[in-house]
Chain A
Amino acid sequence: SQTIHQWPATLVQPVGSPLSLECTVEGTSNPNLYWYRQAAGRGLQLLFYSVGIGQISSEVPQNLSASRPQDRQFILSSKKLLLSDSGFYLCAFGTGDRSPLHFGNGTRLTVT
């Protein structure tokens, strides 16, 4: 079966520190991969998506970057975190256009 793993579940980082969040997918090949951010009580903001290895589309210019080093691995990074980077980060995968997205359980990031 198709599953998605995202870690860590929670993270507290000081301002100016680097960030690396990882997401892996099992049970499917060449998935479309997504990073979303959700502020407290708010909607889903698409940050990055990828339809293949090495291909990254950025939706919102900001302090973050994404990489896809392997087919089923998606990494969200930052060189220097800002307070405004705090939020709930969600990784998701899909298997084609007009198909459902499957979300991970998210990472709660608090930048102090």
Chain B
Amino acid sequence: QQQVKQSPQSLIVQKGGISIINCAYENTAFDYFPWYQQFPGKGPALLIAIRPDVSEKKEGRFTISFNKSAKQFSLHIMDSQPGDSATYFCAASKRNDYKLSFGAGTTVTVRA
């Protein structure tokens, strides 16, 4: 069963708009939440990660928001650019667990 539920499956946004991807989890032991970006034909690459002791982390145009009580976290892509068109995966992990639980992925298309 999928331990991290990701939505939407795909989204289309105009250049300059905001892309929002949401993830939810059940296991309260999770304490590391990375996001990966994957371009076609390439392996996923770490984009940004957050731990539950902060509610928000920003790196450039990418922001993770984290709501511990709701067990949800989201990725916001501000001022979306065509080069941001990719598949994005959220993931979660916990202490002494060497595996990441991945969401199903969201394909983002940014139209010029």
Residues of A at the B interface (CB closer than 8 Å) are: 6, 32, 34, 41-44, 46, 49, 51, 90, 92, 94, 96-106, 108
Number of B interface residues in the complex (CB < 8 A): 24
- Residue of B31, B43, B104, B107 near A98 (CB, 8 A) is B31
- Chain A min CB distance to B25 (Å): 14
State A44–B105 Cα separation when bound (angstroms).
8
Q: Is there contact, CB below 8 Å, between A44 and B102?
A: yes
**Shortest 5 CB-CB contacts between residues of A and residues of B:** A103-B43, A98-B32, A100-B46, A43-B104, A44-B102
State A34–B96 Cα separation when bound (angstroms).
16
Query: Which of B94, B97, B98, B104 gathers the greatest number of chain A CB atoms within 10 Å?
Result: B98
| Contacting residues, chain A, for B34 (C-beta < 8 A) | 100-101
Query: Which of B31, B95, B102 gathers the greatest number of chain A CB atoms within 10 Å?
Result: B102
Q: Is there contact, CB below 8 Å, between A90 and B97?
A: no
| 14 A-B residue pairings within 8 Å (CB atoms) | A42-B104, A42-B105, A43-B104, A46-B99, A49-B99, A51-B98, A90-B43, A90-B44, A96-B98, A98-B94, A99-B32, A102-B46, A104-B43, A106-B43
Q: Is there contact, CB below 8 Å, between A100 and B102?
A: no
- Can you name the residue of chain A whose Cβ is closest to the Cβ of B9? A41
| Contacting residues, chain A, for B94 (C-beta < 8 A) | 97-98
- Can you name the residue of chain A whose Cβ is closest to the Cβ of B47? A100
B49 lies within 8 A of chain A by Cβ: yes
Q: Is there contact, CB below 8 Å, between A103 and B44?
A: yes
